Structure formats: structure tokens, C-alpha cells
Amino acid sequence: MFANYLAHLEQPSRNGSTAHNIAAPEYETPKIDTSKNSPLAAHLITELQKASNDTESPRRMELAVAEVFRFLGFHTQHLGKSGEGDVLISANLGSRSYKIIADAKSRQDGKLKTLDGDTLEGHRQKENAEYSLVVAQSFSGGGKIIDTANR
């Protein structure tokens, strides 16, 4: 789950710093407190976990994904309308800039069993994004889901 990735980011780097510079050297990345004592990081992780099971409000999961990526220093735009991806994520890095279109999937049992690769690709093309991302608590369905993700 993405929350596990976010929790991983909370670990200090080898030199003791908790700031993660993902930008090209010529661009300054905002300094973000990702220490274990960050109440905001803890809140975001908890909200993402809860939202991933809240099938009554898919928008909750979409907004949680947007907030997590905003916390990580990305620019986010919540879309979430029928026929669109859920969150447009932008890394503004000058000539190395890129966009990701994210689909946030909540399931009562937490398991996403199928993916529609054509729909994901359509969302990516519509937003001129370089990457597609599906965020769910867990993925099941074996090889089919992996094959779809690899396309």
C-alpha cells in the first residue's frame, strides 16, 4: 500500500537528514518534515488507510491520494469526474518535469482484483501524462493484474 511507502520515507537517510531531494540539482525541493514525529504524516497515513476501505465515499480516497502527493512536494489537482482519472500529479522540475494520472481505488475488503488497462491509458493520454498510477490498499488477481499494469 502507498501508506507503507510513505512510512518508509519517514526513515532518516544515512546522513541523518529526513529531507528527500528528488529534483534535479538545479532546482530546490521544498523541505518536508517526514520524521516519525510528524503529526501530518501520521494523519495522512491513517486517512489513506481508512479511505482505502470506504466504499461509501470514493472521493475520500481520491482526496487522500492528492493530499499525500502534495505532502511529498508534488502539485496535485483533484479531477475525479466520470471518464477522467482521479488525481493529476505534477512534478515541476523544469526540463525534467513530468505528470502522473492517478486512479484511487477503495474496496471494502481492501483488494483490487481487476484493472482496465485501456481506461487507464485513456486517462493518461487525455491528461498528457507520462505515467499512470493506481492506488489501492492491496492488489489480488494474480497475473492478470500484473499483466495489465505492465502494459
In a domain, 55, yes or no: yes
pLDDT (tens, 9 = 90+) of the chain, 151 residues, equals 344 434 333 333 333 433 333 333 343 444 545 556 688 888 998 899 999 999 999 999 999 999 999 999 999 999 988 888 999 999 999 999 999 999 999 888 888 888 788 888 899 999 999 999 999 888 776 666 667 666 6
Give the residue from 10, 89, 1, 8 showing the smallest Cα distance to 50: 1
In a domain, 121, yes or no: yes
Range of the domain at 48: 2-12+33-150
In a domain, 27, yes or no: no
In a domain, 25, yes or no: no
CATH of the domain at 143: 3.40.91.30
In a domain, 64, yes or no: yes
Q: What is the pTM of this model?
A: 0.70
pLDDT of residue 115: 78
In a domain, 20, yes or no: no
d(CA 119, CA 95): 28
Number of domains comprising the chain:
1
